[in-house]
Amino acid sequence: MLLDELNKRMLTADGAMGTLLYSYGIEYCNEELNIQRPEVIEKIHRDYIAAGADIIQTNTYGANAHKLARYGLEGQVESINKAAIAIANKAAKDGGQFVVGTIGGIRGIRKSDATLDEIIAMVDQQAQHLLSGDPDGLLLETYYDFEELAATISHLKTLTDAPLIAQLSMHEPGVLQNGMSLNEGLHRLEALGAEIVGVNCRLGPHHTIQAFEGVELPKKAFLSAYPNASLLDIEDGRIVYESDADYFGRAALLLREEGVRLIGGCCGTTPKHIEAVKKRIGHLQPITEKKVEEKKPIVIREAEALKDKPLHEKAKTERTIIVELDTPRHLDIDKFLEGSKALDAEGIDALTMADNSLASPRISNMAMGSIIKHKQDVRPLAHITCRDRNLIGLQSHLMGLDALGIHDILAVTGDPTKVGDFPGATSVYDVSSMELIQLIKQLNEGISFSGKPLRKKANFSVAAAFNPNVRVVERAVQRLEKKIEAGADYFISQPVYTKEKIIEIYEATKHLETPIFLGVMPLTSIRSADFLHNEVPGIKLSEDALDRMRACGEDKDKATAEGIQIAKELIDTAAELFHGIYLITPFVRYDMTVELIRYIRQLDIEKASDGQYVKTSH
């Protein structure tokens, strides 16, 4: 019946629910009001009906177990959804409006928010309760992740014959988060069986119209659009949308010209906006023909050829040494530059710099990386944490690294701020390190985090962190395998302090083709050894190493010599099993690292003279 009406005429949907509740001063779980304050929800439905809405949606956008868990309400999925469909049916009973049950998307940028299996289980649970109220259709709204929406449609088609309104959300007009065009995305949704396909949220009328300019009319499905009232703003700490209702109504006319038949509103819209839409399009017939002008495609240039062989490619076949040298905590960079020059003179393959390790501010590794690259011709490998930058900052930072010609990256989660110099600072963590790897690889395709073309491909070689200092190495290896799926090119391990652990790592990872740089960090004193062993996450020393450093007492020279000797013994084993060696310079003591580099080179010379080399795929 809903589809029959759409075949004949333009239909107007309702507008935002959360915006009105927010204006009432309600800032907790909107969906719980279906049980606690049903009269408030019914009044909003009736206000939209009075404004001219032909379709109203249930107050269930976040009524799944994942989102309700934020409020401790995950056990009330059934009661909340059944109450919602009952309220909407009651409100629409007298006027004969169509009622659709709303299911909201879960994923944003973060795929780790929920697996597809978890999402489908939650969709099934929510849909079953909504369908028990016999709605006229189901509205799937605010889906940024195309994969999630596609899987949801496929599953719902096994549950019901009720029409599905499937709506994607865009960060950029006309392009989805994965870089797919809106036109292609909507036609794919149609092919999956969605009867009505469209967009909602994020963008206001202007950009929504712009997005539909490139959309061809589907062969069977109808088009829908639920724009926001405008772009959002913040006034005195509150979210506001500046939009004139008449402007929104005029925009509905332009959406109709783009072939849209079902028009409603999302964030910021009110009954006044819907009344304006109904006034403008309620008496009009839908557009049945549309010519889309072919736009010149944006050319994405290939990345420039790399000057040096990627580290992960080199480490598959030959000895490769990377060295970490912390950037200064102060503004005197002379010692750092002296160290980088000395290390480069020993023939290291890259100098790696942490990103404010232990959550303490240091000179930006982007700045120091640029200096050593362009002034000393040293190859920088920059760490990037998820802690300090939101998605905007992360993409901007990566684009800056590409512009500077810094292509070697280590993606890490980052120590929480409470362990550093500013424990009151905020840890961002918009994404996990695994998701950051995926996003960096997306830049390598010339596509921004939001799906927008970048006109040129980046050329990042992406390392991931590996902490083997755990009781069950196999579990850590399982995580490595997931990082490989995400796009990791190679791994850099935490420092290891026993030969037995190095052998255990080799046995647990020898099936992987992805290279591993085995971490070795010389000890400088018993105090530093105790600190590393007891306080630094991911590092554990052997009792033998601790005893040997303890025996040095306060004799600094003896402690240095013993620390180097312990490191050499570890290198003897690591160099046999791994092509990649990762030397961590303690406290800018690059002289210790220089000695270890020379030791590794001498080992390789001796092996080569004997006709031997590293006996591993790593």
| Residue 267 assigned as binding residue | yes
What are phi and psi for residue 433, nearest 5 degrees?
-60, -35
User: Could you tell me which of 526, 556, 557, 560 has the C-alpha nearest to residue 543?
Assistant: 526
CA dist., res. 354 & res. 364, Å (int): 9
Q: Please work out, in degrees rounded to the nearest 5, the angle formed at the alpha carbon of residue 256 by the alpha carbons of 263 and 247.
A: 70
Under DSSP, is residue 279 helix (H, G, I), strand (E, B) or coil? helix
CA dist., res. 256 & res. 251, Å (int): 9
Burial class of residue 269, CB neighbours in 10 A (0-12, 13-18, 19+): buried
Instruction: List the structure tokens of 501.
Output: 């652990």
| Residue 266 assigned as binding residue | yes
CA dist., res. 536 & res. 136, Å (int): 58
* Pairing relationship of beta strands 232-235 and 238-241 according to DSSP bridges: antiparallel
CA dist., res. 290 & res. 295, Å (int): 15
Point out which residues pair with 224 in neighbouring strands: 198, 262
CA dist., res. 197 & res. 213, Å (int): 15
Nearby residues of 257 by Cβ (< 8 Å), 6 or more positions away: 287
Q: Say how far residue 326 (Cα) sits from the centre of its chain.
A: 27
User: Could you tell me which of 34, 18, 14 has the C-alpha nearest to residue 81?
Assistant: 34
Q: Could you tell me if 222 and 166 are in contact, meaning their C-beta atoms sit under 8 angstroms apart? A: no
CA dist., res. 125 & res. 68, Å (int): 13
Nearby residues of 327 by Cβ (< 8 Å), 6 or more positions away: 333, 336, 353, 354, 362, 363, 364, 365, 368
Cα separation of the two ends of the chain = 63
User: Could you tell me which of 495, 489, 437, 499 has the C-alpha nearest to residue 468?
Assistant: 495
Burial class of residue 119, CB neighbours in 10 A (0-12, 13-18, 19+): buried
Question: Which residues belong to the annotated binding site for Zn(2+)?
Answer: 201, 266-267
Question: Which residues belong to the annotated binding site?
Answer: 201, 266-267
